[in-house]
Structures are given as structure tokens and as C-alpha cells.
Structure 1
Amino acid sequence: MTHLAKLTFKSVSKATARDPVIARRDKVIAALEEQKVVFAAAVRGEQHMIERSKWMTNDQGERVLVKTQRRARAWFFQQDQGWYVQCRYGARVIAADGVNNAVFVRTLKDVAPVLDAFVAAANAGELDTVLAKIAERQPRIKPGAAKASAND
């Protein structure tokens, strides 16, 4: 006990909590910057590949770190004699103006200014309410659970 008596003890809680609004904003901006790279690859007629590391078990049963590549999905697509550009938060498409989920442009070259506008809107905080709404988790209800709880 004499070893611990020499130490100074205090109760403390770690205050590294990050503002969730800023975290959502940063996540969208990082994804939009990635989409600019995907757009540049699409203009060149290529697919943008993202390299990631993952742990796998080899034939000898050892866990090794392997670098794999996956294709980055574009948030823009061609339809109706033009291009539609969507903004996403994770896998969810957000309605940036509150109603519609895509921006229509005539040519592929017009996609870049839309991505820049999304980045500017995210930096200005214009997407915060939409991101907050889409980021909140809804409880998963099993198909028969709603009827069963109503009968109680």
C-alpha cells in the first residue's frame, strides 16, 4: 500500500465528446470530396477504386493484413436525357431541399458545380436539419410486433 500512497488520485471524466452536428457535417463533406474524385474518374472513362485494409486468415491459419480494392459508387447517374446528382449520408439519400432527393443537370460536365454547391451548403450549415433528421435511428419493429402490442 505504500506504493499507492505516494500517488495523487483524482476523479476525472474524459471530455473528448465531439459536437454531433460538426461530425455529421464533416462526414458529408469528406464523402462529397470523394465524389469529386469519382467524378474526375468518370470524365476520364474510368472507375475510381478505393483501397482498404482488412484482416484475413491465410492458408496457414495466420491472420494477415491484406489490402483490397473496392469500386466507389457514384452519386450521379444518367437518366431522362440528363444526369441526376444525389447527396447521401452513409447509404441514405438525403432530400437536400427538404422535398426532392436529386438535382437534374443536362451534361456530365455540369455535375462538378452541383457537388461544389453541396460542399458549400454543408460548410454553411444548410444541410444540418436534414442530416439530423436522417441520422436519428428509428427503432426496428418486427412485422407482427405492432399488432401484438396494440392488442395488449
Structure 2
Amino acid sequence: MTHLAKLTFKTVDRSTKRDPIIARRDKLVAGLKEQVLVHAAALKKEDHRVERHKWMTNDIGERVMVKAMRTVRPWFFAQDGGWYVQCRYGARVIAADGNNNAVFVKSLAEVITVLDAFLNAAGAGELDAAITKVAERQSRIKPGAAKAAANA
């Protein structure tokens, strides 16, 4: 009797599918939680930095993994005598209310209330439609390609 004869074999397809709306929501919530840390560092007049691993070639020519620090860019900025707070999904700005892309507050200390509101709204699913709209890939059609396709 062989060792494999003792085992029970079956054919199975592993389902690792995850609801894309929940995955997008989780990504936004993680970004907002990181922005809370960025805000705390900004109040101390510091940069929030996270550790990142990257592969580099050393002097001998070997590829080694190196730890590097990366500065996290804030989603809030000073302008017009106050602070604007934007909610972002990746590099794209979300129009949270459907029309406007930023919230204005008077001071840096008030930014945390907006971040908390965005965090609660994202957790509750209120921003799912806005995230879906921003996450959709736009087709890259060259300016003259639409006319050429219509004439063909």
C-alpha cells in the first residue's frame, strides 16, 4: 500500500472571490485611518512616515531587501485662510456629496472631525456609489479614433 492510497482526493475550485464593493470600502477605510495618523503628526509639525520594503542591488551585485521610510501625503491642505480636506481613493479625489471634492474647515484641529465623518460614512457604506464611480476605468480613446470608428 502506497502513502498516497491512504488519502482522499477530490477536485475543487477554490473560491477566493470577494465582493468588490466591500474591498473598495475596506481600502478607503484603511486610507482614512492612515490619514488620522497623518493629522496627528501634522499637529506636532512632523511628517508621518511608514516603513516600506524594497529590493535593491548592493555593492557586490546581490539583490537584497532594504527597509526604507516613505512619507505619507496628507489629504488636507491650507488655502484661503483655512484647511481643505479631500477624500481620496488611490490617486483620485472622491466627490463625497456628488458635486464638490473638498470640505472646508477653519483650523487644522477641525480636520479630524471631517476625517472621522468620512471614516464613519465609508464604514456605513454611504460612499460606495462615489467610490464605484471613481474606481471605474475610463477607456483611453484617442481624440480622432471615435470619428475613424464611426466612419469605418
- Counterpart secondary structure, 2:25: helix
| Deviation of 1:145 (Å) | 2.4
TM-score by length of 2: 0.92
- Counterpart secondary structure, 1:96: coil
- Counterpart secondary structure, 1:54: strand
Match of 1:48 in 2: 48
What fraction of aligned residue pairs are identical, expressed as a percent?
66
Between 53-62 and 133-142, the greater mean CA deviation after superposition: 133-142
Unaligned 5+ segments in structure 2 are: none
Letter of the structure 1 residue corresponding to residue 65 of structure 2:
L
1:75 to 1:12, Cα distance in 2 relative to 1, 3 A: same
- Counterpart secondary structure, 2:122: helix
Match of 1:139 in 2: 139
Letter of the structure 2 residue corresponding to residue 121 of structure 1:
A
The correspondence of residues 2-151 of structure 1 with structure 2, limited to 5 A, is: 6=5, 8-151=8-151
**Which contiguous aligned blocks of 4+ residues in structure 1 show a shift greater than 3 angstroms?**
2-5
| Deviation of 1:136 (Å) | 1.7
Please list the CA deviations of residues 20-45 of structure 1 after superposition, one character each: whole Å capped at 9, or x if unmatched: 11111110011001001110111111
For residues 8 and 143 of structure 1, what CA distance do their matches in structure 2 show?
59
RMSD: 1.8
| Deviation of 1:88 (Å) | 0.3
| Deviation of 1:48 (Å) | 1.1
| Deviation of 1:127 (Å) | 0.3
- Counterpart secondary structure, 1:13: coil
| Deviation of 1:11 (Å) | 2.3
How many residues matched? 151
Unaligned 5+ segments in structure 1 are: none
- Counterpart secondary structure, 1:29: helix
| Deviation of 1:74 (Å) | 0.5
For residues 70 and 141 of structure 2, what CA distance do their matches in structure 1 show?
33
TM-score by length of 1: 0.92
